[in-house]
Amino acid sequence: MKPLLILFAFPVLVGILGETLFRDARKGSLTAAISAIGVTFASVQILEPREAWNWIAVLLVSPLPIAIAVAVAMFWHGRRRLPRNVHQDG
């Protein structure tokens, strides 16, 4: 359950938060990518504080949370920008 939380749930929340905070695709995805690394490292450090190899573990698994966070930020950006009630004169 803990790996699922660290590798999938937290990056999804980080991606949504990054996009909602800036409302811009570039800034939101950059924030999500950087924050995903920090959240992953903090989560691993909290779970195993005395382990000396935590930074290597985060380095090895960090591409997955980064990709998920950026993908969610881009998806969230595209979902918010859909036009509402477009009326065409015919």
pLDDT at 80: 57
With bands split at pLDDT 50, 70 and 90, how would you rate the model's confidence at 90?
A: low
Cβ contact 62:7 at 8 Å: no
Domain boundaries, given as residue ranges, for the chain: 2-80
Q: Is pLDDT larger for residue 47 or for residue 34? A: 34
Cβ contact 11:70 at 8 Å: no
59 φ, ψ to 5°? -60, -40
- What does R_g of the chain's alpha carbons equal in angstroms? 16
Q: Above pLDDT 70, what percent of the chain?
A: 87
Q: What is the 3-state secondary structure (H, E, C) of 44-71?
A: HHHHCCCCCCHHHHHHHHCHHHHHHHHH
